[in-house]
């Protein structure tokens, strides 16, 4: 009750603050709130934005008081609502954004908000990204025999590549520690701690990167793909056309009506590097210097179906399963998808589960074993997210969250037989690509052919 009562009391005050602050003397709402609530300027601005959001979209306040969304979700909604450009289109997409606020994990919802702002104000977002690239800087200094490293700025692509390299180096140090522990303690390895702490492994990983940069052969090749750039065909078509690289922005030939519908729907547009929203020009640079492959998203927002019957997921099918997923499927687990297993949702051994993308999910090793040992089942929602189902048939979800709209029957019910894909020269009929893990389309939206490029 504390979470709901506190915003309620302040929200009621803020609804009338526009009148009171004129009577009491302060020249701005911020000054009025600082004086009345004895809070900082930062908190005063947050309260003002929350109040403006609730005043225009009372449903946000209702969801907050009902415990279906939290204050952090309200702040993200308020950020989009207060944006000088994106705010003009907020009302158009408010129902979808509110649904996302309830059903997406916080980090995924923050990505949705960033995508919405970037698509509504591409010029503004590009200016910010270009400033970071222009002002990039780094330093490595020695102080009293210790090292201090600092870096900031850079392009979205450079940032994604550097994070990917560092994460892989840290993972390699972790595997070294695991091997060392097992060589010393054998079967009792899990009863003993690893020889280094997490922070020590991170430092050693950075040192390895430095040393490898001068020890690597001159003709060494970087792994592919080091990072994934995901862009929908509408955004890709426009950026290619704007730079005179294609004659028409409709690069898939879906027709004027379908293409114009895709242009209008900002929440179904996507342009990111490793799940970080970027300007289309940044994606174009990566497209020119890297390789491009077409990934089709079906009606359940599943990345392709390779249709091969095999026990273990191959390299390509594993990448397909991880393409739009940032972390482990289990809520609260932050293990990056690159270090997760691609697991069968329906067991291969016990239930003859097929090896295809509809039956694939990304889970870290620990949660994968927990899922198998505890008979945890899964169910996909219309927003593309896979939910975990307990043995008592209840859904694992945050407190207060309502049941999502399901794209699949309950695991105990028979599932409709899948129709295998057939070869065709025309683009497949699919729903619009989604954000990492979840970005539902409203039920009334017509299904239209769209694809993504990676």
Same domain, 206 and 240: no
Residue ending a domain, among 96, 130, 164, is 130
Peptide bond into 296 cis (omega under 30): no
pTM above 0.75, yes or no: no
- 183, two tokens: 């060589």
CA distance 443 to 405: 9
**15 is a domain residue:** yes
- 10, two tokens: 């302040």
**220 is a domain residue:** no
- 270, two tokens: 């996507």
Q: What is the helix (H) or strand (E) element at residue 282, kind and residue range?
A: helix 280-289
Same domain, 28 and 105: yes
**433 is a domain residue:** yes
**136 is a domain residue:** no
**344 is a domain residue:** yes
Count the neighbouring beta carbons within 10 Å of the beta carbon of residue 349: 9
Same domain, 295 and 431: yes
Same domain, 245 and 316: no
Same domain, 126 and 12: yes
Same domain, 19 and 104: yes
Same domain, 91 and 31: yes
C-alpha 5, offset from chain centre:
31
How do the residues of the chain divide into helix, strand and coil, expressed in percent and rounded to 5?
A: 50, 10, 40
Count the neighbouring beta carbons within 10 Å of the beta carbon of residue 328: 23
End-to-end Cα spacing for the chain: 45
pLDDT at 321: 56
**56 is a domain residue:** yes
Q: What is the helix (H) or strand (E) element at residue 449, kind and residue range?
A: none
- 129, two tokens: 């990204």
**148 is a domain residue:** no
pLDDT at 129: 78
pLDDT at 108: 86
Same domain, 94 and 242: no
CA dihedral 301, 293, 336, 313 (to 10 degrees): 80
**143 is a domain residue:** no
What are the pLDDT tens digits along the chain (454 aa)? 333 334 444 444 444 445 454 455 556 777 888 878 888 888 888 999 999 999 999 999 999 999 999 999 999 999 999 998 899 999 999 998 999 999 988 988 998 898 888 888 877 777 777 888 889 999 999 888 899 999 999 888 888 889 889 998 999 999 999 999 999 999 999 899 999 999 999 999 999 999 988 877 767 666 655 667 778 888 888 888 888 888 898 888 888 888 888 888 887 787 887 777 888 888 887 777 665 555 555 444 555 433 333 444 455 555 555 556 778 889 889 888 878 888 778 765 555 556 566 778 888 889 988 988 898 999 988 877 889 999 999 999 988 899 988 988 888 776 554 444 444 444 433 333 333 333 333 333 333 334 444 5
Q: What is the helix (H) or strand (E) element at residue 286, kind and residue range?
A: helix 280-289
Distances (CA, A) of 195 to 94, 139, 188, 366, 371: 51, 30, 14, 20, 29
Instruction: Annotate 376-389 with three-state secondary structure.
Output: CEEEEECCCCEEEE
Do 32 and 26 meet the contact criterion of CB atoms below 8 Å apart?
yes
Closest CA to 296 of 165, 134, 426: 426
pLDDT at 432: 35
Residue ending a domain, among 215, 238, 267, is 215
Same domain, 395 and 430: no
pLDDT at 416: 52
Sequence-ordered alpha helix ranges (H) in 151-224: 156-185, 198-215
Indicate the number of domains in the chain. Answer: 4
Same domain, 34 and 96: yes
Count the neighbouring beta carbons within 10 Å of the beta carbon of residue 49: 17
Same domain, 121 and 19: yes
Same domain, 117 and 10: yes
Which residues span the domain enclosing 289? Answer: 229-299+425-453
Residue ending a domain, among 66, 95, 130, is 130
DSSP assignment of 340-362 equals SEEEESS-HHHH----SGGGEEE
CA distance 323 to 344: 16
């Amino acid at each position: 009750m504390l979470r709901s009562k506190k915003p309620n009391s302040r929200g009621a005050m803020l609804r009338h603050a526009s009148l009171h602050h004129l009577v009491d003397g302060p020249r701005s709402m911020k000054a009025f709130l600082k004086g009345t609530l004895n809070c900082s300027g930062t908190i005063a601005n947050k309260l003002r934005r929350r109040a403006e959001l609730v005043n225009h979209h009372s449903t946000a306040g209702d969801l907050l008081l009902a415990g279906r969304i939290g204050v952090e979700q309200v702040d993200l909604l308020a950020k989009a609502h207060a944006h000088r450009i994106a705010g003009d289109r907020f009302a158009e997409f408010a129902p979808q954004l509110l649904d996302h606020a309830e059903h997406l994990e916080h980090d995924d919802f923050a990505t949705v908000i960033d995508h919405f702002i970037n698509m509504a104000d591409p010029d503004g977002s590009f200016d910010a990204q270009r400033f970071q690239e222009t002002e990039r800087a780094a330093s490595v200094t020695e102080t009293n025999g210790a090292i201090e490293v600092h870096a900031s700025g850079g392009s979205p692509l450079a940032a994604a590549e550097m994070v990917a390299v560092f994460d892989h180096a840290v993972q390699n140090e972790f595997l070294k520690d695991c091997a060392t522990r097992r060589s010393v303690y054998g079967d009792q390895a899990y009863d003993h701690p690893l020889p280094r702490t997490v922070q020590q492994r991170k430092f050693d990983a950075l040192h390895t990167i430095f040393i490898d940069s001068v020890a690597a052969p001159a003709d060494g090749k970087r792994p592919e793909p080091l990072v994934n750039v995901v862009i929908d065909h509408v955004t890709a078509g426009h950026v290619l056309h704007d730079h005179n690289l294609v004659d028409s922005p409709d690069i898939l030939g879906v027709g004027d009506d379908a293409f114009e519908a895709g242009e209008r729907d900002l929440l179904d547009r996507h342009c990111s590097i490793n799940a970080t929203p970027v300007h289309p020009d940044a994606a174009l640079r990566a497209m020119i210097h890297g390789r491009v492959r077409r990934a089709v998203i079906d009606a359940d927002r599943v990345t392709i179906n390779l249709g091969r019957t095999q026990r273990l997921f191959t390299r390509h099918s594993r990448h397909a399963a991880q393409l739009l997923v940032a972390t482990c499927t289990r809520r609260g687990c932050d293990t990056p998808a690159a270090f997760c297993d691609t697991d069968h949702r329906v067991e291969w051994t016990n239930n003859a589960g097929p090896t295809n993308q509809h039956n694939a999910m990304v889970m870290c090793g620990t949660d994968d074993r927990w899922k198998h040992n505890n008979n945890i089942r899964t169910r996909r929602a219309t927003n593309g997210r896979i939910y975990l189902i307990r043995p008592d048939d209840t859904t694992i979800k945050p407190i207060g969250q309502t049941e999502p709209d399901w794209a699949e029957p309950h695991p105990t019910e028979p599932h409709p037989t899948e129709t295998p894909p057939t070869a065709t020269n025309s683009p497949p009929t699919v729903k619009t690509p989604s954000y990492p893990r979840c970005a539902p389309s409203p039920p009334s939206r017509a299904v239209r052919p769209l694809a993504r490029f990676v």
